[in-house]
Amino acid sequence: MEQSQPPRAIKEEFNERLWLTVLLVVAMLTTAGVGAIFIFDLAPKPYYPTPMGAFMGTPQSLVEGYKLTFSVVSPDTKFIDCRVMLSINGAEQANQTINLVGGNAFMANTISWTDQSDHGKINAGDSLIISDPISSFTYRVTILYSKSGGQICSQSWTVP
């Protein structure tokens, strides 16, 4: 014949199981909270100040397109840390990471880059050429800093 447990032993076993269940739930919620921080990118982000820059004068008309020359970008900024955005008649084309080899293709236009010092950083004299511009269209080139999303410099002009 089976012996039944005294009421006190049943209560202690119930309390042990209750605490184990509570600890398990707390552990699961903590893990879910930490996971949410990484999955939903809720962690604090480092601050990246946007470099300041400018193009020299107005775009220069060439046979192959229009040339924009950088006058200065400070502090030193790598091309790879930047994105280029081309707007044509106010319609923004997709912005892209600057591609020094082969250029960037935007619909019917291509932007090719010249890194005069060949060191991968934007400095005075480096330039870009917008190929095949369309007459009477207004173009705007904006250089964005990838780490902050801020604007480094921008230039607009209308093709005669």
Whether residue 81 contacts residue 51, with contact meaning beta carbons closer than 8 Å, is answered with no
Over pLDDT 90: what percentage of the chain?
37
- pLDDT, residue 41, reads 65
What amino acid occupies position 40?
F
Does this model's pTM top 0.85? My answer is no
Asked if residue 32 has pLDDT above 90, the reply is: no
Region 28-41: what's the mean pLDDT?
Answer: 72
What's domain 52-158's architecture? Sandwich (2.60)
Task: Tell me the three state secondary structure of residue 138.
Answer: strand
Which residue ranges make up each domain of the chain? 1-44, 52-158
Distance CA 155, CA 44 (A): 33
- Pairing between β-strand 91-92 and β-strand 138-145 as defined by DSSP bridges: unpaired
pLDDT digits (tens, 9 = 90+) for 60-112: 999 989 999 999 899 999 998 998 888 889 888 877 877 777 677 777 788 88
How confident is residue 17, by pLDDT bands cut at 50, 70 and 90? confident
∠34-38-43 over CA atoms, to 5°? Answer: 90
Whether residue 66 contacts residue 131, with contact meaning beta carbons closer than 8 Å, is answered with no
Distance CA 131, CA 112 (A): 8
Whether residue 82 contacts residue 142, with contact meaning beta carbons closer than 8 Å, is answered with no
Question: Mean pLDDT score of the chain, rounded to an integer?
Answer: 84
